[in-house]
Amino acid sequence: MKIRVIASNTFKEAIRDRILYLLLFFAAVCIAFSRLLALLTVGDRVKIIKDVGLGSLSLFGALMAILMGTGLVYKEIDKKTVYTILSKPIHRYQFLLGKYLGLILTLFIMLLLMSFIFLALVFFHSFTIEWKLLIAVVYIFIEICLITAVALLFSCFSTPILSSIFSLSFYLIGHTSWGLENSINKMNSGIGKILIQILYTFLPDLENFNFKTEVVHNLPIPSEIFLYSFIYGTFYSVFLLALAMLVFRKKDFT
């Protein structure tokens, strides 16, 4: 109940925040831009629209998660609104979870709106509603949930600017760490391989949620990959949230 109250208030805060609409506008422009790119391309124009459109959804979703997530708790501490809330009969973890779920709800609705624009654009070119594209969107959403958890964790102990830099680094590392997996396969066994293996285990691999190529090019995806990515995303997010709660539980609000 109390988590729901905090979540709905966080949602209300985000909806009344103008930055969100600015981001949504840019996302819509980027999706529409894919139409222009398609006109300039030789070959399958619809594929270009799908590719750029999904790319925009993923990038803007992540940007929204980082920009809003990093200010989520910091703003409450900075403006001292947290004093009033935490003096009420509420556990700290309920407050943090409420903030997280409120932002996730906001991002879900934003993604839904962007997906609607995207599907409509694809429909005007192919005259079919390509529901398969939504598979990629669902995994973009799982990735956004994870990035929000990262941003929330940093927001518990750092300023929004630093948290944004950390979260953005996490996002970039997450999308390039798959290169380490390739290196591991190509390396001979030895201490170097073990070190890279350890590094790869701890670094996030956000490419696990990237199904854009498969859905755009109609490639088959084994069902166990879906399941693995879902479990990976869920566990990673829960782990980060637990870490954030641990940091927040003993925090002094000076």
Partner 1 sequence: MNAVLKISDLHKSFKSGFIPRKKEILRGISLDVGEGEIFGYLGPNGAGKTTTLKCILGLIFPDKGNIEIFGLPHLSLEAKEQIGYLPENPYFYDYLTASEFLHFCCQLTLIAKKERKKKIEALLRLVGLESSTHLQLRKFSRGMLQRIGLAQALIHEPSLVFLDEPLGGLDPLGRKEIRDIIVRLKEEGKTVFLCSHILQDIEMICDRVAIIVNGEISSQGKLKDLIAEEILFTEIVLSGVDDQKLRRLGDAVFAHGEKILLKVYQEEKIDQVLRLVQSEKGTIHSLIPRTETLEDLFVDMVKKG
- Contact set with partner 1 (CB under 8 A): 1-2, 5-6, 9, 12-13, 16-17, 79-91, 250, 252-254
Rank residues 16 and 186 by Cβ distance to partner 1 and give the closer one: 16
Residue whose CB is less far from partner 1, 60 or 95: 95
Q: What's the helix, strand, coil split of the chain in %, to 5?
A: 80, 0, 20
Nearest distance from residue 2's CB to partner 1, in Å?
6
Rg (CA), the chain: 20
Q: Which is nearer to partner 1, 3 or 146 (CB)?
A: 3
C-alpha–C-alpha distance, residues 116 and 129, integer Å: 11
Residue type, 134: L
Nearest to 186 by CA among 176, 197, 175: 197
* Beta carbon nearer to partner 1, 54 or 85: 85
Which of residues 1 and 219 has its CB atom nearest to partner 1 in the complex?
1
102 Cα distance to chain centroid: 14
Phi, psi for residue 253 in degrees, rounded to 5:
-95, 90
> Is the sign of the CA dihedral 86, 91, 97, 98 positive or negative?
negative
Comparing CB distances to partner 1, the nearer of 106 and 229 is: 106
Nearest residue to 17 via CA among 141, 106, 115 = 106
Residue 216 beta carbon to partner 1: minimum distance, rounded to whole angstroms: 40
Tell me how far apart the alpha carbons of residues 180 and 199 are, in angstroms, rounded to a whole number: 8
Evaluate whether 77 touches 155 at the Cβ level (below 8 Å). Answer: no
> Least distance (Å) from partner 1 to the CB of residue 84?
6
CB of 20 vs partner 1, minimal distance in Å: 12
With both helix axes pointing from N to C terminus, report the angle between 18-39 and 45-72 in degrees, rounded to the nearest 10.
160
Q: How far is the CB of 247 from partner 1 (least distance, A)?
A: 14
C-beta of 43: minimal distance to partner 1 in Å?
Answer: 48
